[in-house]
């Protein structure tokens, strides 16, 4: 069985980060180790949530794993907290990267043209350095702009996307750069990327559902990592992840009017498993 490690926060209630990554990747038949970077009582869509920083646990966990000679088919990072965590995760990459595994960075820090409240431009610069050590990165358009110092646009064309991909590639990422939430035609959205080894374009377009739920990016990234660990190509993995995320949103819209908790990904797991042929 393949083993991956995912490094991100955990919300005790609310479907995002580790409470999404752990069950989805495990259901895909991939052992999922975790390093929780913080514990929250709920995700941040709730009011008055509690937050406990676990930055000081990262290095001791890594040392113990090295002593036990534990290795991973993939290292996957999502939402990180204090800036000091970025350097610790960079050190973790150096400790556990091998010729046979890959590093997947989802640089969660911004959306809709703005950084999330706890982040600043210095954090974005540190995240860009982390992306340089990755094999695959999957920023949304806003995150890509902050990573590369590019002006954010709500309306854009193919040339704008290609320029962003050029700038992301220049960060130093090794295998592929992928933009999420790319909408180049009405009623559609999808991913646009570039295979940095072959130079080939990566594209996938699907219907845009006009609703927003917390944690859907985590579902997409987690499913992509799981599919890659199972040997799927990046193009296949992205398509599987996009289709699963859309199916989760549709399921939630149909059966659950409460948007605060996230999407009902659990009910759609059988569909994902059938798609993978497990």
CA dihedral 135, 138, 142, 147 (to 10 degrees): -10
Q: Is 175 exposed, middle or buried (0-12, 13-18, 19+ CB in 10 A)?
A: middle
Least Cα distance to 138 among 95, 181, 96 occurs for 181
pLDDT, mean of each 10-residue run, the chain (278 residues): 95 95 98 97 90 96 98 96 93 97 97 92 97 98 98 95 98 98 93 96 92 92 98 97 96 81 94 94
Please state, in angstroms and rounded to a whole number, the distance separating the CA atoms of residues 193 and 205: 12
Q: Is 73 exposed, middle or buried (0-12, 13-18, 19+ CB in 10 A)?
A: buried
- Are 115 and 146 a contacting pair, CB within 8 Å? yes
Q: Which superfamily, per CATH, for 3-272?
A: Ribokinase (3.40.1190.20)
**58-95 pLDDT tens trace:** 999 999 999 999 999 999 999 998 889 999 999 999 99
Please count the residues of the chain: 278
Express each pLDDT in 89-138 by its tens digit. 999 999 999 999 999 999 999 999 999 988 999 999 999 999 999 999 99
Q: What is the pTM of this model?
A: 0.96
Q: Considering only CA atoms, which of 276, 169, 262 is closest in space to residue 224?
A: 276
| Residues in Cβ contact with 201 at an 8 Å cutoff, skipping those fewer than 6 apart | 192, 193, 194, 195
Chain center to CA of 257: 26
**Would you kindly state where each structural domain of the chain is located, as residue ranges?**
3-272
């Amino acid at each position: 069985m393949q083993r991956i490690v995912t490094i991100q926060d955990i919300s005790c209630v609310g479907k995002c980060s580790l409470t999404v990554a752990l069950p989805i990747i495990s259901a895909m038949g991939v052992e999922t180790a975790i390093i929780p970077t913080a514990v929250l009582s709920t995700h941040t869509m709730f009011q008055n949530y509690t937050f406990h920083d676990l930055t000081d646990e990262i290095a001791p966990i890594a040392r113990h794993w090295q002593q036990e000679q534990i290795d991973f088919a993939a290292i996957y990072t999502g939402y990180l907290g204090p800036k000091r965590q970025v350097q610790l995760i960079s050190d973790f990459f150096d400790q556990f990267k091998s010729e046979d595994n890959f590093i997947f960075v989802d640089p969660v820090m911004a959306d809709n043209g703005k950084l999330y409240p706890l982040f600043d431009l210095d954090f974005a610069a540190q995240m860009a350095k982390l992306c340089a050590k990755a094999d695959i990165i999957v920023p949304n358009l806003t995150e890509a702009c902050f990573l590369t110092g590019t002006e954010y646009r709500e309306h854009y064309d193919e040339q704008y996307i290609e320029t962003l991909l050029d700038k992301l590639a220049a960060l130093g990422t090794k295998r592929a750069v992928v933009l999420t939430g790319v909408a180049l035609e009405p009623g559609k959205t999808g991913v646009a990327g570039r295979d940095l080894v072959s130079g080939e374009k990566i594209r996938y377009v699907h219907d845009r559902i006009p609703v927003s739920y917390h944690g859907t990016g985590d579902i997409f990234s987690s499913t992509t990592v799981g599919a890659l660990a199972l040997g799927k190509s990046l193009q296949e993995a992205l398509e599987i992840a996009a289709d699963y995320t859309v199916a989760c949103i549709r399921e939630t819209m149909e059966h659950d009017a409460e948007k605060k908790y996230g999407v009902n990904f659990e009910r759609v797991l059988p569909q994902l498993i059938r798609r993978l042929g497990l």
